[in-house]
Homo-oligomer: A and B are copies of this chain.
Amino acid sequence: MVRWEPGAKQRLQVAALDLYVSRGFEQTTAADIAESVGLTERTFFRYFTDKREVLFHGQSELEQAFLAGVDAAALGASPLAKVTSALEASASFFPDERRASSRRRQSVIDAHPALRERELLKLAALAGSIAAALRAGGVDDPAATLAAETGITVFSVAFAQWIADGETRSLIWLERQAMRELQHAWEAAPVGEPAPAPAE
């Protein structure tokens, strides 16, 4: 019989981050995390496949936010306008109240190459999901992939700024600023030569 523990998942997440920061990621076991909030190791594994996964639990909600943003864009919006809408939605996932815990989480991830790798792979998967949503909305490749990857680049850059020491600007502000910066970069780029004839 599986006993339902109200709020167990969230309590485990909070406890895990506390222990990873205070004791160290390697020095913390799933059993330690569960025990610190009066739960069993077995309960821990009902919610998370391993102790790394606790740090990435929000991934699917974040993906849902991005995809909802793509869907919320105006009919006939350009691919980058859809991506802009997705970025706005992603920012609502990270209100300023979340910044402190996002910083703590990142300090754990940055200290462990394997966690950094997992994060990069999750971001790549997120770009893939956004590209798929754009294709489903009628955008062909390579335009869909180019726009989706651009969105993840902007998100990553803005997010890294958002959690930097002393930063107080909101994520949405930083995302808009990064979008604007990229747009200006393209305006300053040399205009592409006319396409040469393909090799054949």
Chain A 156-175, CB-CB to B under 8 Å as 1, else 0, gives 11100100000011100100
B-contacting 9-mer, from A30-38, A42-50, A140-148: A140-148
Contact residues of A: prevailing secondary structure: helix
Chain B min CB distance to A159 (Å): 11
A153 contacts the other chain (CB 8 A): yes
Q: How far is the CA of A2 from the CA of B7 in the complex (A)?
A: 62
Asked whether, in the complex, the Cβ of B183 is within 8 Å of the Cβ of A189, the reply is yes
List 3 tightest A-B contacts by C-beta distance, closest first: A80-B189, A149-B153, A169-B198
A72 contacts the other chain (CB 8 A): no
B-contacting 9-mer, from A9-17, A57-65, A104-112, A116-124: A116-124
Interface residues on A, range: 35 or more
Known: A78-B190, A150-B153, A180-B195. 10 other contacts (CB 8 A): A78-B189, A80-B185, A117-B117, A142-B158, A146-B181, A176-B193, A177-B195, A180-B192, A183-B192, A186-B187
Asked whether, in the complex, the Cβ of A80 is within 8 Å of the Cβ of B186, the reply is yes
Chain B residues near A120 (CB, 8 Å)?
120-121, 124
Q: Which residues of A contact B (CB under 8 A)?
A: 78-81, 84, 96, 117, 120-121, 124, 142-143, 145-147, 149-150, 153-154, 156-158, 161, 168-170, 173, 176-183, 185-193, 195-196, 198-200
Chain B residues near A179 (CB, 8 Å)?
192
Chain B residues near A154 (CB, 8 Å)?
146
Contact (A157, B182) CB under 8 Å given A81-B189, A195-B173? no
Contact (A146, B192) CB under 8 Å given A169-B199, A199-B96, A199-B173? no
Chain B min CB distance to A132 (Å): 15
Asked whether, in the complex, the Cβ of B161 is within 8 Å of the Cβ of A79, the reply is no
Residue from the set A143, A192, A200 with the largest chain B CB neighbour count within 10 Å: A192
